[in-house]
Amino acid sequence: MSKYDFHYFQGSTLSDLFAEDITDTSYGFILNYPATASWAAYPNRKKYFIQDGSSEATKTSFDKICQKEPWKNLAVLGDRIPGIVIIPPPKSLIGYWQEHFGLSHSNMELRDCSTYLDDLSHSYGFDKLITLFPFDHLKPEKHAVDPDTHYHLLSKVTLAELGVQCPKYDSYNLHQVNLEDIQLPQYPYLIKTSHGLSGEGTYIIKSPSDLNYCFEEIRKYLNIKLLDTIIVSEFVKNEVQNYCIQFYVNKLGDITLIGTTSQLVTPEGNYLGGLIDYRNTDMSKFFEMIANLGQYAHKQGYFGVIGFDVLEGKDGQFYAIDANFRVNGSTPLCLQRNTLLGLGKGVAKYSSDYRMEGTLDSILVTLKPELDRKDLIILSALEKTKYGKIYTDIYAIVTGETIQEMQHIEHKLQHKGLQWLP
């Protein structure tokens, strides 16, 4: 018998997860990350640095931060919390969500991207705003979680404080230590910036050329004054599995399980998506880590979704390599658990790297049989044009009763024109 009495979440939306914690005042959810690019009306360049690209050419794009990513979370937000977006999703995408998620999606609050943080800071409409990351230009008291606390929790430096086994690492404040003076371990090892956005700022060092590239990038971040701290970490060798474990900790410190995905990652460490087996995933092996992380977060005053990345070594040991105190990339995939199990579908894969020729309207017609069977679930879609040809970038989930059936469905979808572009 486990000494932990943790249970799976029985709902299917983010707002159902947050429901018991949002009754004290009026809450909204800012669905986009802050950015630091020149196009950002409110760049995070004062206090809460986010490493989202070391130069204008490599910054995370406007369409990813303001359209594709926030729309994906809006798809599964539910109707209890208004979701704040600065660019509305296509009407046909909302229509598809309404039909397939059974929600009214009347919860969308459209705000002007050039004024939204000022509006929200001085608005009486929302007392508290749930965020993925603290905003420099949103009043501190408007953040649902104290922004200094949230920034501390999101830092790679905090990992060793969380009460979970992790690779050994050292942290360095680059205003106090010269990059060249840092004692580096033997290859391979990792260097990470403190607040890299989805894989950005993580460098696997296996050779002098890797190190040169990493130091060049870090110097660029220092020059544009968007970085204070880095960590130098051991590299977990002989990993056999890479998990993302997700749960919700409420304001009382109680824990609800959301799910565990196996992460699909390129050899360079870039995140491609998640694979989940709803029936055959035993989360109990992570219960002690979940309890310790949840307790730490609660003591700090955090409530919300937590996802932490764990590598399993050949020796059967688990090493936490990252902890994200926010809605994670694969949270919408985990939230499909009850819906898909009800349809007899036990396996699903999420990816943000699908693409198909044609408009979204034409794709919704072409893929209608698969969409109706929930073989495919579209979370986000954005039309683009290249060389005069229209195509649509799609964030989606492919499902099946078994892994084999899911792969067969994915193969059929490829025949219909759905490309996977890892």
pLDDT at 293 over 80: yes
pLDDT digits (tens, 9 = 90+) for 302-334: 999 999 999 999 989 999 999 999 999 999 999
pLDDT digits (tens, 9 = 90+) for 131-184: 999 999 999 999 999 999 999 999 999 999 999 999 999 999 999 999 999 999
Q: What is the mean pLDDT of residues 363-384?
A: 98
Say which range, 16-20, 56-60, 258-262, 340-344, has the weakest mean pLDDT: 56-60
Torsions phi, psi for 249 (to 5 deg): -115, 125
CB-based burial of residue 62 (10 Å sphere; 0-12 exposed, 13-18 middle, 19+ buried)?
middle
Q: What is the pTM of this model?
A: 0.95
pLDDT digits (tens, 9 = 90+) for 108-124: 999 999 999 999 999 88
Residue 166 DSSP SS3: coil
pLDDT at 226 over 90: yes
**Predicted pLDDT at 269:** 66
Reference 397, options 406, 405, 388; nearest CA is 406
Q: What is the mean pLDDT of residues 23-30?
A: 97
Instruction: Enter the tokens of residue 295.
Output: 């307790």
147-154 vs 287-300: helix axis angle to the nearest 10?
Answer: 150
Is the separation of the CB atoms in 235 and 89 below 8 Å?
no
**Predicted pLDDT at 97:** 96
Distance in angstroms between the alpha carbons of the first and the last residue of the chain: 42
H or E segment at 406?
helix 403-415
pLDDT at 1 over 60: no
Is the separation of the CB atoms in 383 and 389 below 8 Å?
no
**Predicted pLDDT at 392:** 98
**Predicted pLDDT at 260:** 97
**Predicted pLDDT at 107:** 86
Say which range, 5-19, 75-89, 198-212, 270-284, has the weakest mean pLDDT: 270-284
How many C-beta atoms lie closer than 10 Å to residue 164's C-beta?
21
Instruction: Enter the tokens of residue 37.
Output: 């690019």
pLDDT at 266 over 70: no
Q: What is the mean pLDDT of residues 246-257?
A: 98
Residue 200 DSSP SS3: coil
**Predicted pLDDT at 276:** 96
The three-state (H, E, C) secondary structure of 38-55, written as one string: CCCCCCCCCCCCCECCCC
Task: Report d(CA 371, CA 376) in Å as an integer.
Answer: 5
Task: Report d(CA 415, CA 358) in Å as an integer.
Answer: 15
pLDDT at 273 over 90: no
How many C-beta atoms lie closer than 10 Å to residue 336's C-beta?
24
pLDDT at 17 over 60: yes
